[in-house]
Structure 1
């Protein structure tokens, strides 16, 4: 090969290499388009709109499964009976894997239950995306790591609503109806006890198991094993409605009176939420709720306070009103029973001696003032004097 031929060969090879590079740059790629926060937001906005408007075709266009599918992404079916007034996502993080054409999106969900929530509830969510038929689609949605579940994460939700509020449950239609009947009776009792400005409605969530209850509350099952129901909420204005979360396993152990008692007690917490503050002692908030529930289904006093009656019979009259620590679910059931019974009888004494209106006024004052100030300003007494009167009341009524 001459030197001239070598030069021509090198030039030809260079031209061929450049052509190959140009061809590679112009060829369509087979991988997914890059997924960033803007694209993820647009996808989840379409998904939320489809759900709010109950548009199955639009929903299917955003999902890896159809609206009628019972596959991994069965959220459409699980939410079919839930009355939603709002549903929107705010994307907080995106992680895409181009090799597998999948992505994970972290988002904050804001949703409202129609007729119940004055403001949106929020939840941290984790959504799995997949490149499907040339587009990104959602294939799964669940609670973000460390976040509490939503009821529909646990299965299809049945709903029952009325003038008293809303029951949502993952169990049978009969179970949901049972809690609706309990709520219907509880709301007027709570209103009679408290009056005042409250929605006169409750939202009751009924998961299928103790584990489901704990997941809704973001805790461990052992923390709620002996608890029949818990009320969650905040006194701050512009927040979603309180939720009464039921532990169905503990509820099954109760008789009909006990079931009604528990739901009435929790409904009173909903009624008093707006004036229950960090300063409100638990003996007052729990005792007030118990008093309303007892009045709706009265029993002879020693039988309604058996743990405290037994203590008084042994000469062990409590020396002080129950402190907040006494209401902890730490495994000592007897101490917990005595705390609740003591709070109830303190509220009963207060109403007997000062009247219903003064009891409600004391409750309101206790949420914003130091305990001693509320005793002095509303009752015209001191904490020490009231405690002495309460101890005498226990001896008189339980002895």
Structure 2
């Protein structure tokens, strides 16, 4: 789910990235007394991290410093936390140094109904008196980073939003809060109010910062204005999604484009619990674009220039966009046509069957739970049509709107 980098558009990428980290099986080395040799070190490290977590929640910098390096506390002390804890999964010890694999679990107060988890690698050293202290903490291998890994976090609160940023002024972060505060009511008007109705925005210092947080190369997100992270098909305990902004690409958009991007991404937050493996990307991204453009007055020719070019050239797509058409690594024009095609499919449903039917169609697809038969069944039960007839009508709609 990403915001398109072209000036008056937004796009979602259908990437739902829960932070993934390996759960390593601890091989217990049994000493002559019959007890695992690593038990003591692991328990000691767990106690150090427990004290560290308690210091974070108590806003006790001295107590945090007593456990080792205080950089992390300084960087995240402005973040409103409701919970913060570590679970050590393995300890790799070499003499008086050790590396611990740990699961960080935290909740932002007022926003997360369940913990966000992240894999972390913690390095420690043991003093002469036997006490372990932390020398560094970083993202685990193949795990995305946290915003505070990039620097000291600044916080701006909006009426419906919380903006966390690194390397930006308070005034700059306020602009994101204002955009999000307009996006949330717009999404509720289209989708309904059965969602959290607030959003968390993360604004790293640069494209490189965004990529590091998402655990991918920067080239994957060049020109992408924003990405929404979270788990699909979330139940009531799913944590709040995070909208991660690429400040480089976002700054190139005009006012309308910036608002469309934030509304698009906020739509993904609202629809998350009803989006799962059954939902094709043309629907999830097309619906987010439909909500994003709703009320802007943008015409199909203004908002779908790549698809217009194809239609004018007599190259009307033969079928609805496939999930493969939404890949970042492929042809950028093909990618743009996929988002535009999904948007126009949802726009057609809203015009032909009505906005309430569009919402019902989206929910019905997700209720199916698996891809096979989901779209076909929802088209029959909600729209009273077949996939073949819908596709034919969509192709004619493209010709009428763009030809």
Higher relative contact order (CA 8 A, sep 6+): 2
Question: How far 1:46 moved relative to its partner?
Answer: 0.9
Where 1:271 maps in the other structure, the secondary structure is helix
Matched with 1:138 is 134
Q: Corresponding residue for 2:240?
A: 241
Q: Which moved more, 1:166-175 or 1:124-133?
A: 124-133
**Structure 2 residue matching 1:140: 3-state secondary structure:** strand
TM-score by length of 2: 0.85
CA distance in 1, matches of 2:218, 2:63: 38
Aligned to 1:268: 267
The equivalent residue for 2:147 is 151
Q: What is the match of residue 51 of structure 2?
A: 46
Say which of 102, 105, 109 aligns to 1:114. 109
From the superposition, tell whether residues 175 and 133 of structure 1 become closer, same or farther in structure 2 (CA, over 3 Å).
farther
Q: Aligned runs of 1:1-399 on 2, under 5 Å?
A: 36-64=41-69, 73-98=70-95, 101-132=96-127, 134=129, 135-172=131-168, 173-234=170-231, 235-237=233-235, 238-369=237-368, 370-399=374-403
For the aligned residues, what is the CA RMSD?
A: 1.7
* Structure 1 stretch displaced more, 284-293 or 129-138: 129-138
Q: Residue 62 of structure 1 aligns to a residue in which SS?
A: coil
Over alpha carbons, which structure has the higher Rg? 1
Is the contact made by 1:35 and 1:96 (CA closer than 8 Å) also made in structure 2?
A: no
Of the structure 1 ranges 151-160 and 173-182, higher mean CA displacement relative to structure 2 is found in 173-182
* 1:35 shift after superposition: 5.7
Residue 171 of structure 1 deviates from its aligned partner by 2.0
Which SS does the other structure have where 2:195 is aligned? coil
Structure 1: which 5+ residue stretches go unaligned? 1-33, 65-72
Normalized per residue, the structure richer in helix is 1
Separation of aligned partners in 2, 1:151 and 1:128: 20
Correspondence for 1:69: none
- 1:5-38 deviation per Cα after TM superposition (whole angstroms, max 9, x unaligned): xxxxxxxxxxxxxxxxxxxxxxxxxxxxx96111
Taking the aligned partners of 1:347 and 1:146, their CA distance within structure 2 comes to 36
* Superposition misfits of 4+ residues, deviation over 4 angstroms: none
